Structure 1
Amino acid sequence: MTSIATRNLKTGQTKSWSIHKEAELSKQLSSMQAELNKFEKSMLKGFFQWLDKHKDCRFLHWNMRDENFGFFALEHRFRVLGGKPVELPDDKKVDLARELVALYGRNYAPHADSRGRKGRIMALAELNNASDQDALPGADEAAAFVNAEYIKMHQSTLRKLDMFANFFERTHEKSLKTKSKWYERNGVHPVVLIEIVKDHPIYTTVIVLSGLAIAAVNFSRFLALFN
């Protein structure tokens, strides 16, 4: 782990931790590379101390669901380094990536942007003209780690945090631009509509309105998560 960042969606206040910042505070930047575990542990300690004070909040995240990349990974790594992590209950975690699929369908965004950068994060930012300056795709982040470009990685973390907040706000306002079709957003497949129109034309309006009701329920469920 090299950097972590959180933002209060109501106030916009951002809090971040990184191994580079820990080394800088310890006035040991010159010896940082030789003591990465020490600074990583200090970073994680700071994060979990903060989390302990905010564990009643809901945490919006992007695919942080397993031990390779997620809350469990943070907990596991801190234990390996000798720390005792705070375990955030699952009902306090909201995966924005999954919520977008639930709201807009699986095809809401490509898996790469027009420049070939992999990840729906980049593609969704491009669709919405959201700034992605300094944000690194997964492969570039891995390369930055190998090259010990920790500041670059931290800047990427902060930019992605901006992007997630942007996606959430647009979703909340129902203004997020996606690639999903109308029927994907409203839970109605076109083949079903065609059959209904052929056999029972009068039902068309009922089904369409039902689709809109499904969308309203989906958005209400999403917004209720943060009430």
Structure 2
Amino acid sequence: MNSAVSSRLKDRARTRKQVDNIYDNAVRAYIVHYSCESFYDNAGGGSKRVTSIAVRNLNSAQTKSWSIHKSAELLGFLDVISEHLDELEFHMLNGYFEFLRLHHDCTFVHWNMRDENYGFAALEHRFRVLAGEPFTLSDERKVDLARVLVNLYSRSYASHTSPSGKKGRIMSIMEVNKIADLDALQGNEEAEAFVHGEYLKLHRSTLRKVDVFANLFDRVHAKTLKTQAGFLDIYGVHPTALFQAAKDHWILSLIAVLSGLTSAVLNFSRLAAWFK
């Protein structure tokens, strides 16, 4: 078996075990997602303003969220949001980082929150810009669901455009699995909502996406997630990979067992006939 196949199988086995471990300890696992202004309309080169954050417990489905809209209502600025954006964003991020500090020993499942452009580090940087002191979550507590899907199903698990033409793998995998996209905005729609000051719309999109990611994670664990990857995309053609496929799918395992029994019966019949 070549090193590429061996590495792929090891990554797949490790990822499957990781998913099972998280699910077994779901009470201490959260789905996290956030929305922010557009990455592409950034002539000044500054960090992007965060508009909403949500975390959803994988066991209870209870969701905690922070947003510019919620902070505006709490602080009495609902009618003058645009005049207090820094103060409202600080209030929102402060709540999020306090939650993170209190749950630092939990696992946080996310979607591509990997760097200072979009990710945990981006949230930390943004809070520092607003003169806050962020809490830094240990990397071992972060699990990227997007990478989990790649490790288990290959990069072919979903196209970058859904069957109906919506942009992004999130929308694509949702559509393939018939998960409703009500309130879930595409990237360009989130940018447009920010420009128009539709902070409640952005908040609803963030809440919807943590629900979607929890749904996807449940299906990954149950091995019922539908993808656009073919059998060879996932397993390849090496015999060891095919054995792994049989372990993953009970129907293949049953066929293998029945084939073995059939072969044994035929061999026994031949042997019996030889002694007659």
Unaligned runs of 5+ in 2: 1-49, 250-276
* Aligned pairs (5 A) from 1:47-66: 47-66=96-115
Residue 168 of structure 2 is matched in structure 1 by 119
Residue 129 of structure 1 is matched in structure 2 by 178
Q: Is 1:209 paired with 2:243?
A: yes
Q: Give, in angstroms, the shift of residue 122 of structure 1.
A: 0.4
Residue 225 of structure 1 is matched in structure 2 by none
Q: Give, in angstroms, the shift of residue 131 of structure 1.
A: 1.2
Structure 1 residue ranges, 4+ long, deviating more than 4 angstroms after superposition: 210-213
Residue 200 of structure 1 is matched in structure 2 by none
Matched to 1:4, the amino acid is: I
* Aligned pairs (5 A) from 1:33-52: 33-52=82-101
Secondary structure in 1 aligned to 2:157?
Answer: coil
Matched to 2:132, the amino acid is: G
1:121-178: CA deviation from partner (whole Å, max 9, x where unpaired): 0011101111110101111100110010100000110111111001000000000000
- Distance in 1 (CA, whole Å) between partners of 2:181 and 2:244 is 37
- Distance in 2 (CA, whole Å) between partners of 1:115 and 1:174 is 25
Question: Identity of paired residues, percent?
Answer: 53
Residue 147 of structure 1 is matched in structure 2 by 196
- Distance in 2 (CA, whole Å) between partners of 1:207 and 1:74 is 40
- Distance in 1 (CA, whole Å) between partners of 2:141 and 2:157 is 25
Matched to 1:63, the amino acid is: N
Q: Which has the higher contact order (CA 8 A, sep 6+)?
A: 2
Q: Give, in angstroms, the shift of residue 210 of structure 1.
A: 4.7
- Distance in 2 (CA, whole Å) between partners of 1:16 and 1:6 is 6
Residue 229 of structure 2 is matched in structure 1 by 180
CA RMSD between the two structures = 1.5
What's the TM-score, normalizing by structure 1? 0.84
The answer to whether the Cα contact below 8 Å between 2:52 and 2:203 also exists between their aligned partners in 1 is yes
Q: Give, in angstroms, the shift of residue 207 of structure 1.
A: 5.7
Secondary structure in 1 aligned to 2:84?
Answer: helix
Q: Give, in angstroms, the shift of residue 183 of structure 1.
A: 1.9
Q: Give, in angstroms, the shift of residue 11 of structure 1.
A: 0.9
- Distance in 1 (CA, whole Å) between partners of 2:209 and 2:165 is 18
Q: Give, in angstroms, the shift of residue 212 of structure 1.
A: 4.3
- Distance in 1 (CA, whole Å) between partners of 2:186 and 2:119 is 17
Q: Give, in angstroms, the shift of residue 211 of structure 1.
A: 4.9
Unaligned runs of 5+ in 1: 194-203, 217-227
Secondary structure in 2 aligned to 1:2?
Answer: strand
- Distance in 2 (CA, whole Å) between partners of 1:50 and 1:210 is 40
Residue 169 of structure 1 is matched in structure 2 by 218
Q: Give, in angstroms, the shift of residue 32 of structure 1.
A: 1.1
Taking a change above 3 Å as real, the CA distance of residues 7 and 210 of structure 1, as seen in their structure-2 partners, is closer
Residue 116 of structure 2 is matched in structure 1 by 67
* Aligned pairs (5 A) from 1:22-41: 22-41=71-90
- The match for 1:94 among 110, 123, 143 is 143
CA radius of gyration, larger in: 2
